[in-house]
Amino acid sequence: MAHGHHIIPLRTLSMVFGALLFLTVVTVITAQIDLGLLNIPLALAIAGSKAILVVFVFMALKYDNRVNLLTVVLGVVFVVVFLVLTLADTEFRGSLGITEPAIIEASPESSDTGSRMP
Amino acid sequence: MSSADTTLKHYFVSHEQQFDAAKLGMWLFLVTEILLFAGMFVAYAVYRSWHPEVFLQASELLDWRLGALNTVVLLASSFTVALSIHFVQKGENDKVVVLLIMTLVCAAIFMVVKYFEYSGKFSHGVFPGAGFEPHGIVDGKDYSKYDIPFAPQFFSIYFVMTGIHGVHVLVGMGLFGWLTTRVARGHFSPQYYTPVELTGLYWHLVDIIWIFLFPLLYLI
Amino acid sequence: MSDESHNYLNARKGLWSWLSTTDHKRIGIMYAIACGAFFLLGGILATFVRTELGEPGETILGQDQYNQVFTLHGVVMVFLVIIPAIPGILGNFVLPLQIGAKDVAFPRLNLASWYLFMAGAIMAVCGWLFVGRVDTGWTFYTPYSSGASNAVLWLTSAVFIAGFASIFTGLNFIVTVHKMRAPGMTWNRLPLFTWAIYATGIVQVLATPVIGITMVLLFLEKLLQIGIFDPALGGDPVLFQHFFWFYSHPAVYIMILPAMGIISDLMGTFSRQHVSGYTFIALSSVAIAFLGFLVWGHHMFVAGQSALSSIIFSMLTFLIGIPTGIKVFNWVATMYKGSVWLRTPMIYALMFLFLFTIGGLTGIMVGVLAVDVHLHDTYFVVAHFHYVMMGGALIGLIGGLHYWWPKMTGRMYNETAGVIAAILVFIGFNLTFFTQFFLGTKGMPRRYHDYSEFLEIYPEFAVLNLASTIGSYILGVGLVMILVYALYSLFRGPKATANPWGACTLEWTHTGPVPDEHNFHDTPLVTRGPYDYHLADDVFGKKTES
């Protein structure tokens, strides 16, 4: 028998829906104002909060088995891993490399000058 | 119990076990969906960080009002799905049918808005990839001024992300149509409503993806 | 064993009863047939490659044909054999039996994933036969792939579809292990093969969607020129490599983790001893699954990624050595003071220990930044990954197939033939690939159909390549021999008993010689661990009464 499932009260569901609409208005308004560096983090923070509301209440993860929560957390962690390690490349291309072309000399005293380019 | 027994597969011991297994399977599937979209979000992040000014400029061509409308429509559909699970748990199936049809209508509105957005872009030469050749004037915006390097990348990412998201919406519509007939035929009860629950989870994920797409593509 | 003659093989008859089955054991057999056929195809292609390289100059293949042949060899072996084989064949057959379940959690999904796999496989092979021959290598790097013929569309779609088969298999096993265990089958009583398949499932679920989206983007790149990966359109080819290896490096662990699980079970059974460091082996599988996601950039040290990320990826790569070392040392410790019984499966387990250790340690070598600059894209890398994939994953699979063969077919194979074939495989394999370490350190590049230009500087290339080619023939003879005595055993082999190896896990102690359709007559009640050989009465007393 599938008894004992948590029934989320209508009041909770309605409040969450209201909060989601409110956050949508907030993100639209704040996007019209230029906050400089804060633009992207703020928009992502609002979107993140909305996602958390949906996951925990609408998708009932708050009342659910812990293993389902673990599954979602793992998924999100590996999205972050994917993003961070890829950006570790794309954001720092050429930052440590030697960009000036140089000719590798054969004579012993000029060897190992750190030149990588042919 | 006898009516519920037909829904219990022989390799499960109890309904509880069967329900929990189905739900864990669905969550794992949702994780694969998250990672599928992650690839596109990573591509977005990389190109945006390389060409921030191009992305800002190109996103002006997307109408945030239509994006916001679609956000509200999808949030409303998520709400109706959450309500339908509330009522199926209480056994009030007539309300469930109404709510699922409302969800279906919301999804249809979303796709119609998307259709007008896409066709508006296509008619002014904003295509993904090689066909990118913006022209014409809409709302005082001269599209030909947006023919700049890396603007095609923005629109490629826009079309691929929203396109794959749109495919998910269509799949969801099919699922809700199928579910509605099953609810109407009385297939579900507070003891057995697994397909409603799982489709609901899927739909909320589609909503969440859009919650991120909207600000990233339309607003910032 | 109320009725010996009634079992899963003869419960229903006819081809359709197989094609429509949801029985995990039958699906396992169907994977075995499919993967076996693709292994044969991939093996024939490998023989072509080695024959071309046996002598300097062009022998049997032109340069384009050579590129097409090694590409199909790579695609078939990676996507159609090594990735699906162990979870598909042995995972399906053994895992539900080992945890005392009647079936996997989603039997219909299980059958669907076999069909998806077959659809992908048929697309790949038909695309190659009828549409055009891709020569990009199995990695599909842009701009090779974005500039290649339209046949690449077929191959990327095939990989996309076969990827979903892999996802559904992994998902199914994770849920099965979480929700379907028999009463008393706690997490620390799970056999290590089950643990390994569970960890593999995590990788399949988390990594495979990314190859899916990569293939979609590559498809669109080719179809619409969307300019994400193609440098000619302003895209970034290195970004493609990030996407590709975010899947394909973890995919290496999809290949090797299940083989490690097989070896753990073989070590316990054939040393007649509790597997040393059980908890550590189990958790190191999970650790490898997670760490495997953090190291993909070590495939790109010379691809133009930033120096910073190269350093990070190189350092993270060394971490993999820790859980892997834990496993290897614990396997050795399991044999210590055990009574080692050298039957064919155990010979493969020992072979794995030897070959995989070479493969793993050379992996650490190419993970060193400076060393990799020298060895990248040489035969050293080719030798390294064949030691891991063939010497590790496939040797593990062959060992596992020998071990579970009596349970799958109800027949025994000829032990002497098994030992001779194993020796041939061992000699052939090492002759083929150990020589390639030397070739690689001397700088012989991979993916060249001819090396006559190098002979002036390195005349030894000729003899090393010849030795490698001869080795591949010996390896081929060994593998064909296995096929022959396996087929013989299928029809003429002596009937097996329920537990011919005296193993301790449920699939041996609680089922008949061939399990019946629903696995167990009564759901087993588990009161002991999987390798509790010290409880011999408890373990083997049950055999006669069940």
Rounded to the nearest 5°, which phi and psi values hold at B8? Answer: -95, 120
- Of C63-67, C70-74, C129-133, C198-202, give the lowest mean pLDDT range: C129-133
For residue C1, the model assigns a pLDDT of 41
Instruction: Tell me the chain B residues in contact with residue A58 when contact means C-beta distances shorter than 8 Å.
Output: 78-79, 81-82, 200, 204
- Contact criterion met (CB < 8 Å) for C306 and A78: no
In 10 A of CB C528, how many CB atoms? 14
% residues pLDDT > 70 (chain C): 97
> Residue C473, exposed/middle/buried by CB under 10 A (0-12, 13-18, 19+)?
middle
Query: Are C226 and B131 inside 8 Å of each other by CB?
Result: no
* pLDDT tens readout for residues B91-127: 999 999 999 999 999 999 999 999 999 999 999 999 9
DSSP assignment of A53-83? HIIIIIT-GGGS-HHHHHHHHHHHHHHHHHH
pLDDT digits (tens, 9 = 90+) for B62-95: 999 999 999 999 999 999 999 999 999 999 999 9
Identify the DSSP state of A4.
Answer: T
Instruction: Name the band, by pLDDT with cuts 50, 70 and 90, for residue B141.
Output: confident
Question: To the nearest whole number, what is the mean pLDDT of chain B?
Answer: 93
For residues C248 and C212, the answer to whether their CB atoms sit within 8 Å is: no
- Whether residues B24 and C178 touch (CB distance < 8 A) is answered with yes
Residue of A11, A54, A91 to mutate for B, most B C-beta atoms under 10 A: A54
**Alpha helices per DSSP H over C99-150:** 107-126, 144-147
For residue B104 the two structure tokens come to: 């279906």
pLDDT at A5: 81
Nearest C-alpha neighbor of C201 from the set C163, C259, C254, C161 = C254
Provide the pLDDT for residue C46: 97
Q: Which residue, among C334, C293, C341, has the nearest Cα to C317 in the 3D structure?
A: C293
Average pLDDT of chain C is 93
Give me the mean pLDDT over the A32-39 stretch.
84
In this predicted structure, the answer to whether residue C539 has a pLDDT above a threshold of 50 is yes
Q: How does residue A116 score in pLDDT terms, banded at 50, 70 and 90?
A: very low
| Strand partners of residue C495 | C411
pLDDT at residue B1 is higher than 80 = no
How far, in Å, CA of C229 to CA of C213, rounded? 13
Helix, strand, coil % in chain C, rounded to nearest 5? 70, 0, 25
**CA nearest neighbour of A32 among B65, B162, B121:** B65
Q: Which residue has the tokens 């022998």?
A: C59
Q: How confident is the model at residue C97, as a pLDDT?
A: 96
∠ CA B84-B86-B88, rounded to 5°: 65
What are B163-174's pLDDT values in tens digits? Answer: 999 999 999 999
pLDDT for B185 equals 94
Kindly tell me the number of DSSP H helices and DSSP E strands found in chain C: 20, 0
Which candidate from B36, B42, B149 shows the least CB-CB separation from C234?
Answer: B149
- CA dihedral over C138, C139, C140, C144, signed as positive or negative: negative
Instruction: Indicate whether A92 pLDDT > 50.
Output: yes
Using CA atoms, how far apart are residues C425 and B77, in angstroms rounded to an integer?
Answer: 61
Q: Both tokens of residue A34?
A: 């230029």
Q: What does the pLDDT average to over C185-207?
A: 96
| Ramachandran area for residue C340 (φ above 0: left; ψ -120 to 50: alpha; else beta) | beta
- Alpha carbons C45 and C66: distance in angstroms, whole number: 10
What is d(CA C66, CA C273) in angstroms, rounded to the nearest whole number?
Answer: 49
Compute the nearest-CA separation of B56 from chain C (Å).
18
Sign of CA dihedral C489, C492, C497, C502: negative
Task: Give the pLDDT of residue A98.
Answer: 57
Interface of B with C in 149-178 (CB under 8 A): 149-150, 152-153, 156-157, 159-160, 164
For chain B, what percentages of helix, strand and coil (3-state, to nearest 5) are there? 80, 5, 20
Report whether pLDDT(A115) > 80. Answer: no
ipTM at complex level:
0.94
Nearest chain A residue to B81 by CA distance is A58
Neighbours of chain B (3+ CB pairs under 8 A): A, C
The average pLDDT across C21-39 equals 96
More confident residue, C344 or C541: C344
Query: Cβ–Cβ of A93/C206 closer than 8 Å?
Result: no
Measured between alpha carbons, how far is B142 from B98 in angstroms, rounded to an integer? 45
Window from B201-215, C218-232, C349-363 with minimum mean pLDDT: C218-232
Domain with residues C22-545, CATH architecture: Up-down Bundle (1.20)
What distance in Å separates residue A36's CA from the closest CA in chain B?
Answer: 11
What average pLDDT does this structure show over C122-136?
90
The Cα C426–Cα C395 span in angstroms is 9
pLDDT at B137 exceeding the cut of 60: yes
Q: Where are the domains of chain B?
A: 13-219
| Mean pLDDT, residues C265-273 taken together | 95
| Residues C419-453 pLDDT 10s | 999 999 999 999 999 999 999 999 999 999 999 99
Q: How far is CA B178 from CA B174, B220, C278, in A?
A: 6, 38, 48
Q: What is the mean pLDDT of residues A44-55?
A: 97
Cα separation of B161 and B41, whole Å?
A: 8
Is A47:B220 a contact under the CB 8 Å cutoff?
Answer: no
Angle at C460 between CA C458 and CA C463, to 5 degrees: 145
Contact, B35 vs B209, CB < 8 A? no
A72 has a pLDDT exceeding 90? yes
For B81, B87, B107, B198, the CA distances from B97, given in Å and listed in that order, are: 11, 10, 15, 16
Chain A: partners with 3+ C-beta pairs within 8 Å: B, C
Q: CA of A14, closest CA in chain C: separation in Å?
A: 33
What's the pLDDT score for residue C6?
Answer: 83
Closest residue in chain A to residue C240, using alpha carbons only: A86
Instruction: Choose the closest CB to B130 out of C178, C180, C224.
Output: C224
In this prediction, residues C317-322 reach a mean pLDDT of: 95
For residue B37, the model assigns a pLDDT of: 96
Average pLDDT over residues C493-511: 93
Q: What is the dihedral of CA C252, C257, C260, C266, to 10 degrees?
A: -130
DSSP code per residue over B116-135:
HHHHHHHHTT--SGGG----
Q: What are phi and psi of C529, to 5 degrees?
A: -80, 175
Task: Provide mean pLDDT across the span C186-206.
Answer: 96
Question: What distances in angstroms separate CA C302 from CA B129, C238, C322, one per listed residue?
Answer: 29, 10, 26
In chain C, what percentage of residues exceed pLDDT 90?
A: 88
What residue in B sits closest to A78 (Cα-Cα)? B35
DSSP state of B142: E
Given a cut of 80, whether residue A42 has pLDDT beyond it is yes
Q: Does position C542 have pLDDT exceeding 70, yes or no?
A: no
Distance of CA B203 to CAs B105, B175, C368, Å? 14, 10, 46
**Residue A34 confidence (pLDDT):** 82
Peptide bond into C143 cis (omega under 30): yes
In the stretch 18-77 of chain A, residues with CB closer than 8 A to chain C read 67, 74-75
Describe chain A by its helix, strand, coil percentages, rounded to 5: 65, 0, 35
Q: Which residues of B touch A59 (CB under 8 A)?
A: 200-201, 204
The CA distance from C525 to C510, in Å, is 10
Distances in Å between the alpha carbon of B54 and those of A15, A86, B51, B60, B123? 39, 21, 5, 10, 22
**pLDDT score, position C280:** 97
Q: What is the pLDDT of residue C541?
A: 59
Whether residue C168 is predicted with pLDDT greater than 90 in this model: the reply is yes
Strand partners, C378: C445
- Other beta carbons within 10 angstroms of residue C526's beta carbon come to 19
How many CB pairs below 8 Å do chains A and C form together? Answer: 51
What is the pLDDT at residue B2?
Answer: 42
Give the C-alpha separation, C538 to C181, whole Å.
Answer: 20
Q: Are C379 and C440 in contact (CB under 8 A)?
A: yes
How far off is chain A from C242, nearest CA to CA, in Å? 7
Q: What is the least distance, in Å, from the CA of B155 to any CA of chain C?
A: 9
Of B35, B39, B86, the CB nearest to A8: B86
Task: Return phi, psi of residue C346, to 5°.
Answer: -70, -35
Mean pLDDT for C201-217 is 96
CA angle A97, A100, A104 (to 5 degrees): 95
Q: What is the pLDDT of residues C349-397, one digit of tens each?
A: 999 999 999 999 999 999 999 999 999 999 999 999 999 999 999 999 9
Cβ contact B49–A90 (<8 Å): yes
Does residue A108 surpass a pLDDT of 70? no
The beta-strand segments (E) located in C189-316 are: none
Shortest CA distance to C402 belongs to which of C356, C324, C350?
A: C350
Distance from CA of B95 to the nearest CA of C (A): 31
Residue C544: is its pLDDT beyond 80?
A: no
pLDDT of B8 reads 87
Kindly give, in sequence order, each residue whose CB lies less than 8 Å from that of residue A70, ignoring residues fewer than 6 positions away.
Answer: none
Per the model's pLDDT, the better-predicted residue between A101 and A1 turns out to be A101
Question: Could you give the C-alpha distances from C439 to B55, C27, C56, C383, C461, in angstroms and in order?
Answer: 49, 42, 14, 9, 7
CB of B207 within 8 Å of a chain A CB? The answer is yes
B15/chain A closest Cα distance in angstroms: 5
Q: Which CATH superfamily is domain B13-219 in?
A: Cytochrome c oxidase, subunit III, four-helix bundle (1.20.120.80)
Mark yes or no for CB contact A88/C296 under 8 Å: no
pLDDT tens column, B32-61: 999 999 999 999 999 999 999 999 999 999
Put simply, whether A118 touches C (Cβ < 8 Å) is no
Please give, rounded to a whole number of angstroms, the shortest distance from the CA of A88 to a CA of chain C. 5
pLDDT at C545: 43
Interface check B1 vs C, CB under 8 A: no
pLDDT given at position B5: 65
Q: Is B38 on the interface with A (CB under 8 A)?
A: yes
Amino acid making up residue C237: P
User: Which of A76, C485, C455 is CA-nearest to residue B37?
Assistant: A76
